[in-house]
Structure formats: C-alpha cells, structure tokens
Amino acid sequence: MVVYNEIQGKGLKLNTAEDVKSYCEAIKQLKLTEISLGGNTYGVEACKAIADALKDQEELSVVKFSDMFTGRLKDEIPLCLDAFVLAFENKKKLVEVDLSDNAFGPAGAKPLMRLLINNRNIEILRLNNNGLGIEGARLISEALVEAHEKNVKEGAPDRLKVIVAGRNRMESPGVGHLSKALEAFSASLKHIQMPQNSIRPEGIAELVERISKCENLEFLDLQDNTFTLPGSQAIAKAFPKWPNLKHLNLGDCLLGAKGGLAVIKALTDSNHKLERIALFFNEINAKGAKLVPEMLVGKEHLKSIELNGNTFDSEGSEVEAIKKQLERLGKEDCLDELDEMEEEEEEEEEGEEPAEEESQEVDELAKQLETL
C-alpha cells in the first residue's frame, strides 16, 4: 500500500501549476494506491496539474479530497472537479472517493455525473456537506441510476456499498430523487448515511420504502431529520427487512411519544445483530422506555444504546428496568449517560411537524450556493 498524504491538512493555498510542481513530481515517482490532499485550497491550474500527475496511476484505489476548495469562486470548483474526473473515470481499481466538505453544490455535481457513470468500480462514495440541495441530489441520483442500468445491460454486478450524503439540504424532494438510486443499488448497498438533510415525514416515508429493499443493509444513519409519527411508522415497518442491521442512528429525529413506541415495538422482534441503537432526543416518554427491556432481549451483539434527551425520568423505574436487563445480558456499560433529559410536553397532532431549525453553518452554506 502506497499512500501520498504529505500536504494533508497543511492549510496551503495552491493556485498555479508551479505551486504544486514539487508535489506532482513526487506523485509521479510513486505507484500510488491512496492519495489524500484535503485541508488545503486549490485553484484550477493547480488541480489540472495534480490530475495530470495522477492520470497514469493505475493502482489508485482511494481518493480522499475533502475540504479542498475553501475560498474558491463558484465557477472554479466545477473546473477543478472536471480535471479530476478525467483522471479518475478509467481507474479500474478505484473503490473509494471522498469529496466531503467541499461546497460545490449542483454545479459541482454535474462533472461528478461522468465519474459515477463511467467508473462503476466505486464501492464507497462520500459526499457529505457538499450543499447539493434538491437539484444536486437529482443529478447524482440520475448518474447512479444510469450506472446501474449499464451494469444490468452488461451483466455486471453493482459495486456501490457505502453512500454518505449528510448535511446537503436535500429536503424531501431531493431525498426522493436520491432514494431512486439507493433502490437501484439495493442488492449491493450496506451503509447509508444521510443525517441533517431537512427531510420531512413524507420524504422519510418514501426513502424508507425504497431502501427497505436493501436486504444487506448494516448501517443506517438518519439523525436530525424530521420523522414524527408517519416517518416512525414507515421505518418500523421496514426493520424486519434488514436482518443484518448493526448500526441504527435515529437520534434527534422527533419520533415523538407515539413514534417512539412504534420504533421500539418494531425493534423488539427483529434486528438481533444490532450493535448500536441511537434514539436520543426523540421525546420518548415513560411508556416507551417501559418497552425497552423487552426490546433488548436477544440483542447479544449490543455495544451501545443511546436514550439521552428523552422525556422519561432518568432515575425512574423504567431506567432501573433497562439497567437490570442490560446487566442480565452482560451489557451493563452499554447505556449512555442520561444527563440531559427533557420535560414531557403535549404531543403534536398526528403527523404535524414543528418548525425545523437549521444550523447556522448549514444556512451559510446555502446562501453561498443560492446563485449556483
């Protein structure tokens, strides 16, 4: 394994081909399997020079290009990505691409389409915090669906196993687009991460219905989206279809008291391979907490259960019962600290959504992308 990460995280501003000349020369001397250049900012000419240095790296399998365009103009980034796509689209051993924390929006998604369609060897795709929005999600989905269709036509297996696409402000329409691609890759997908995407209950219901076909799913993270009762009922229905699920994160998803009950009941008779169950800050009350001990039966692989920030008493009988059950299972250290419990409030009408508050950082990213 040969890794080039000499300038990773150096905070360099590299604008021209001359600025990256020495790095490119070093790259050309190596038979690379992995390259990591994040934590610096690169201009168009610098990217073209790096792409040229990488074009003959046939053993390249991992590309980590997160956080590479801070301060760059909106019309620069697509040109940079276009240069890299040209270098990577024919790499037969490329299995992982990480472009997270680059605010390229829909304009940056366009050149990526070519990579996803032409290089169908990629198994791990990380597009976290890219400001994709609804349109960017549509473009990425369109490319992935076309890639799947090409695989079917050629009799080739789908290879995509991991997709990370959190903090992209997809909202329900955007996730509706992307969920079509996830459904297309249902035979191969094992890991889906889509936290903080402003998805509402109707979007959650559509997403869950489509990914319920991912029978090999092991990892699901939908933290900080809005479920309420309809979304909770939808995912509760899907749980039995994921027998290999190991990691479930539904933290801060506004399940509500009724939604929490639906989720806990559904987990009671299924998903016995779970290692992590995250249900923190979901307005789960004492009635829901009372069902947790029974839900834990058979969860022999459990390493963590997170219930902090809900509305039951952290010193009540329900928690004592949870702790005793964990002790019986030899899992007494699995429960998180219940030190931020909230007061129970009257639950909203069924399916009603409270107003969502987006983080200041994500809103700022959206403003940057308004004109893309």
Instruction: Give yes or no for residue 359 having a pLDDT over 80.
Output: no
What's the token pair of residue 314?
């952290």
Instruction: Give yes or no for residue 358 having a pLDDT over 60.
Output: no
Confidence of residue 205 (pLDDT cuts 50, 70, 90): very high
Contact 323, 336 (CB under 8 A): no
Q: Which has the minimum average pLDDT: 57-61, 174-178, 201-205, 347-351?
A: 347-351
Mean pLDDT of the residues in the chain: 94
Predicted local distance difference test score (pLDDT) of residue 136: 99
Please return the burial class of 118, using the count of CB atoms within 10 Å of its CB with bins 0-12, 13-18 and 19+. middle
pLDDT in tens, 315-345: 999 999 999 999 999 999 999 999 999 988 7
Predicted local distance difference test score (pLDDT) of residue 344: 81
Instruction: Give yes or no for residue 372 having a pLDDT over 60.
Output: no
User: Domain extents for the chain?
Assistant: 199-355
Helical pair 44-54 and 77-88, crossing angle rounded to 10 deg: 0
pLDDT in tens, 235-288: 999 999 999 999 999 999 999 999 999 999 999 999 999 999 999 999 999 999
Please return the burial class of 57, using the count of CB atoms within 10 Å of its CB with bins 0-12, 13-18 and 19+. buried
Predicted local distance difference test score (pLDDT) of residue 368: 52
Predicted local distance difference test score (pLDDT) of residue 77: 98
Count of C-beta atoms within a 10 Å radius of residue 339: 8
Instruction: Give yes or no for residue 371 having a pLDDT over 70.
Output: no
Confidence of residue 346 (pLDDT cuts 50, 70, 90): low
**Could you tell me which residues come within 8 angstroms of residue 361 by beta carbon, excluding any fewer than 6 positions away?**
none
Instruction: Give yes or no for residue 362 having a pLDDT over 70.
Output: no
Q: Which has the minimum average pLDDT: 82-96, 128-142, 162-176, 356-370?
A: 356-370
Please return the burial class of 68, using the count of CB atoms within 10 Å of its CB with bins 0-12, 13-18 and 19+. buried
Predicted local distance difference test score (pLDDT) of residue 353: 47
- CA dist., res. 116 & res. 88, Å (int): 10
Predicted local distance difference test score (pLDDT) of residue 286: 98
What's the token pair of residue 240?
């039995």
Count of C-beta atoms within a 10 Å radius of residue 107: 19
- CA dist., res. 290 & res. 159, Å (int): 42
Average pLDDT on 127-150 reads 99
Contact 167, 188 (CB under 8 A): no
pLDDT in tens, 56-97: 999 999 999 999 999 999 999 999 999 999 999 999 999 999
Predicted local distance difference test score (pLDDT) of residue 347: 53
Instruction: Give yes or no for residue 213 having a pLDDT over 90.
Output: yes
* CATH assignment, 199-355: 3.80.10.10
Predicted local distance difference test score (pLDDT) of residue 79: 98
Instruction: Give yes or no for residue 367 having a pLDDT over 80.
Output: no
Helix (H) or strand (E) holding 41: strand 41-42
Q: What pTM was computed for the model?
A: 0.92
